[in-house]
Amino acid sequence: MNKITKKELEEYNKEILEKAKNFKLKPKDFHNLYDLFWMVNSPESNVADTLKLNNMDKWFYDFTARIERILFDEDFALSPKK
């Protein structure tokens, strides 16, 4: 597996930000984000536990918060476990 250099990562981030400027959410995108949000935050889901084992829980909660800001007027996401 090849390591990504800092310069390559910065170029990638720049390219993604440029593409994101032209991106517009469509109704289907909102629907998919809504479904994803509830699947991940379902009480039956063990996604948060699995992510914590892989040290990705901070990313997960940040991602969930970003989805909330797009879809809802209030916070519904799981609070980080302490």
Query: Chunked in runs of 10, what are the mean pLDDT values of the chain (82 residues)?
Result: 85 89 82 79 74 76 77 59 49
The residue extents of the domains of the chain are: 24-82
Tell me how far CA of residue 32 lies from CA of 1, 3, 5, 60, 69, in angstroms: 32, 32, 33, 17, 15
Tell me how far CA of residue 57 lies from CA of 15, 52, 77, 78, in angstroms: 26, 5, 13, 11
Global model pTM greater than 0.85: no
Tell me how far CA of residue 19 lies from CA of 30, 53, 69, 70, in angstroms: 19, 33, 20, 18
pLDDT value of residue 1? 59
